[in-house]
Amino acid sequence: MRIVDARVIVTCPGRNFVTLKIVTDEGVTGVGDATLNGRELAVASYLRDHVVPLLIGRDPARIEDTWQYLYQGAYWRRGPVTMSAIAAVDTALWDIKGKVAGLPVYQLLGGRSRDGVTVYGHANGETVEDVLVEVARYVDLGYRAIRVQCGVPGLPKTYGVSADKLFYEPADAALPSEATWSTARYLAHVPTVFARVRDEFGPTLRLLHDVHHRLSPIEAARLGRSLEPYALTWMEDPVPAELPEGFRLIRQHTTTPVAVGEVFNTIWDAAQLIREQLIDYIRTTVVHAGGITHLRRIFDLAALHHVRSGSHGATDLSPVCMAAALHVDLAIPNFGLQEYMRHTDATDEVFPHGYHYADGYLHPAETPGLGVDIDEQAAARYPYAPAYLPVNRLEDGTVHPW
């Protein structure tokens, strides 16, 4: 079997997605997600201009060899653009291998390690009262784990808090919007929110919180300590992810578990944090960390060091990425949680998929391959529209320095 075509499809059914579709001479096709929020066209060009010409004529069965060829062959290793492009190729080749074998991809990864993939949803609101309503809604839907984000009194807009529920889009403007940040206001408010949520929903519901890399290490240590009475499952991205030393300092001060990694793109970004047991959950996912092949390598390293997976799953991870992530989640021994933000109806129409939610779990499709596709005619109705994540400023106007 040979690869005869590889199409890069850019579409915007409510938000931008980049998808690679690989076509073989025997008619078998595979899809991979290549979406990099706010930098979509850079990955589309990397694929179209520098990767697709290298794929034509290759044997699609050689997944590991193709990964090494693209990673080592470029000379310029790592980085989100490169690794998202490699991820798309890798994911599409796993899809093809599953279809050729007649098996869902999780079977090729060793088979099922659990009955379903436990997911968490996003409960967010401007006020604590709004948040309680949203948490109740997720509880009613059967969710076992819920991420809680609340507006901060005195700040006009808080990242991760939106009027839209079940899904919302943080990349909200054709030129970046601006948000204001105050560590003092934030640290004073967050523990009061979790006190109310625990009070209302009891001690066993799994609760999470995302700091979005906004704190210094000692501030994050203080937040972790102030949240200890509410027994969070994790405190996410407490400090900027690129400085492992910051996590060491957090660890010295608090037993609140720590999750990080949605911005990581290789095992090298995570290795020290995992080896030194400075984190509890590693949040890398298929599209930004080199595909199923490389993500599995990261999670295997994590398993050696008692670190669980907690893959990123916001709206910018397309249904193609979500489908692929679920196969990995189902198969690995050290699965923790999977983030799940639902997509818009338009997105679901462009990406027909067989995974489904039931009673707090996601279940991948049982069809051969990944169980997801792209409807190229539907995709063509939604042309690319520039959209960026917001920029964060301190109250005195400084761009938040980390």
Q: Where in the sequence numbering do the catalytic residues fall?
A: 159, 212
Sign of the CA dihedral running 208, 211, 212, 217: negative
Considering the complex, state which of residue 94 and residue 340 has its C-beta at the smaller distance from Co ion. 340
Give Cα 22 distance to the centre of its chain: 23
Site for ligand EZ4 in 126-165 (CB under 6 A): 160
Q: Is the Cβ of residue 11 or residue 392 nearer to ligand EZ4 in the bound state?
A: 392
Q: How far is the CB of 240 from Co ion (least distance, A)?
A: 13
The values of phi and psi at residue 168, to 5°, are: -150, 165
State the Cα–Cα distance between residues 84 and 24, nearest whole angstrom: 22
* Nearest C-alpha neighbor of 97 from the set 166, 197, 26, 36: 26
Instruction: Report the nearest approach of Co ion to the CB of residue 120 (Å).
Output: 11
Residue count of the chain: 402
Least distance to Co ion from the beta carbon of 315, Å?
12
Residue located via tokens 């990425």: 321
Q: Which of 14, 170, 257, 261 binds ligand EZ4 (CB under 6 A)?
A: 170
**CB of 210 or CB of 219, closer to Co ion:** 210
Q: Work out whether 329 is an interface residue with Co ion (CB under 5 A).
A: no
CB neighbours (10 Å) of residue 184?
Answer: 11
With CB atoms as reference, the residue minimizing the distance to Co ion is 210
Partner that binds at residue 316, options ligand EZ4, Co ion, none, CB closer than 5 to 8 Å by kind: ligand EZ4
Give me 357's structure tokens. Answer: 């939610």
Phi, psi of 380 (to 5 degrees): -65, -20
The alpha helices in 48-182, defined as continuous H runs, are 52-55, 63-73, 80-101, 105-108, 128-140
Distance between CA atoms of residues 132 and 198, nearest Å: 10
Task: Tell which one of 40, 95, 134, 210 touches ligand EZ4 (CB under 6 A).
Answer: 210
Binding partner of residue 314 among ligand EZ4, Co ion, none, CB under 5 to 8 Å per kind? ligand EZ4
Site for ligand EZ4 contains 314 (CB under 6 A): yes
Which residues from 249-268 bind ligand EZ4, rule CB under 6 A?
262
Site for Co ion, residues 202 to 231, rule: CB under 5 A:
210
Least gap, CB of 52 to ligand EZ4 (angstroms)? 25
C-beta of 90 vs 237, nearer to Co ion: 237
Residue 319 sits in the site that holds ligand EZ4 (CB under 6 A): no
Helix (H, G, I), strand (E, B) or coil at 38: coil
Q: Which is nearer to ligand EZ4, 219 or 339 (CB)?
A: 339
Q: Minimal CB distance to ligand EZ4: which residue? A: 314
By CB under 6 A, what part of segment 50-109 binds ligand EZ4? none
Q: In angstroms, what is the minimal distance from the CB of 265 to Co ion?
A: 15
Does residue 347 sit in helix, strand or coil? Answer: helix
- Asked if residues 286 and 294 have their Cβ atoms less than 8 Å apart, the reply is no
Spatial distance between the Cα atoms of 1 and 76, rounded to a whole number of angstroms: 29
Contacting residue, 19, 37, 309, 392, with ligand EZ4 by CB under 6 A: 37
Buried b or exposed e, range 115-130, using 16+ CB within 10 angstroms: ebbbbbbbbbbbebeb
| Binding site residues, Co ion, CB under 5 A | 210
| Binding site residues, ligand EZ4, CB under 6 A | 37, 160, 170, 210, 212, 262, 312, 314, 316, 339
